[in-house]
Structure 1
């Protein structure tokens, strides 16, 4: 089972989720991309329940993007799971402090509240994950997060550092084969 964890303001129907879902359907690989709560504790709780349920039947592997990458690191560390991280947030408490107030969902443009309690709750999910069993995909043109933070924090990860690009990881479809080769070999 592959679980895709979306980023802040996104959901399980974003572009990367759609690409992964389609690839998994073609390869007959179990896949889920849940639309998670904007409340970090609820999002983590949902993901932990999914992991615990699916681990009864098959291996669970994670793919996380941005804030979802942060969640994926925490869960990979806690449950010893292989993980692919795409432009992951390494310090979401800092970067998302700027977003306190009304935030917008990128899928349907609905608004929701992002508050100081949410920001503070992220701190409990910081972990010492070094990147073992991890494929890190970053683009130097990420205008939201500094890719060097992820590269420095994850020295044991397999790194793919692409020049240019953006926070959404432009051209992600070009890496699907590499992502699945990594995921299926771990």
Structure 2
């Protein structure tokens, strides 16, 4: 089972989730991309339930993008799972501290509130994950996060560093086969 964890202000029907869902369906790979809460503790609780409810926890594989990458690092470290990280957030307490207030979901335009308490709750999910069993995909043109932080944080990961691009990871569809092969092998 592959679990895709979306980023901040997104949901399980974003561009990368949709591409992965279609690819996995075509290749008979179990896949889910849940729409998780913007509240960090609820998001982690939901993801932990999904992992623990699968027949064998060690059959679970993770993919995380942006804040979902931060959550995926925490879960990969906790459950010793393989993970693919796409332009992951390494310091969300800092970056999302700037987003306090009302927000709008990128895909369904629903509203949410992001509070200082939500930002503080992210601190408990910081971990010492160094990237073992990890494929890191970053683009230097990420206009939201500094890709160098992820490369430095994850020295043991397999690194794919593309020049240019953006935070959404331009040309993501080129990596679908590599991602699933990495997770399934």
Alignment TM-score, normalising by the size of structure 1: 0.98
1:155 aligned onto 2:155: yes
Aligned to 2:79: 79
Query: What is the SS of the residue equivalent to 1:121?
Result: helix
Per-residue CA distance 1:142-173 (angstroms, 9 max, x = gap): 00000000000000000000000000001000
109-118 vs 140-149, greater mean Cα deviation: 109-118
CA distance in structure 2 between the aligned counterparts of 1:81 and 1:57, rounded to whole angstroms: 8
Alpha-carbon contact 2:58-2:81 (below 8 Å) kept: no
Runs of 4 or more above 6 Å deviation: none
Structure 2 portions without partners, runs of 5+:
none
Query: What is the SS of the residue equivalent to 2:43?
Result: helix
1:179 aligned onto 2:170: no
The number of residue pairs the alignment matches comes to 185
CA distance in structure 2 between the aligned counterparts of 1:57 and 1:126, rounded to whole angstroms: 22
1:37 aligned onto 2:37: yes
Aligned to 1:59: 59
Q: How does 1:42-121 map to 2 (within 5 A)?
A: 42-56=42-56, 59-121=59-121
Over aligned residues, Cα RMSD in angstroms? 0.9
132-141 vs 47-56, greater mean Cα deviation: 47-56
1:104 to partner: Cα distance? 1.1
Alignment TM-score, normalising by the size of structure 2: 0.98
Q: How does 1:19-38 map to 2 (within 5 A)?
A: 19-38=19-38
CA distance in structure 1 between the aligned counterparts of 2:177 and 2:56, rounded to whole angstroms: 27
CA distance in structure 2 between the aligned counterparts of 1:164 and 1:16, rounded to whole angstroms: 18
Structure 1 portions without partners, runs of 5+:
none
CA distance in structure 2 between the aligned counterparts of 1:103 and 1:155, rounded to whole angstroms: 34
Per-residue CA distance 1:120-147 (angstroms, 9 max, x = gap): 0000000000000000000000000000
Query: What is the SS of the residue equivalent to 2:137?
Result: strand
Query: What is the SS of the residue equivalent to 2:59?
Result: coil
Query: What is the SS of the residue equivalent to 1:135?
Result: strand
CA distance in structure 2 between the aligned counterparts of 1:182 and 1:61, rounded to whole angstroms: 10
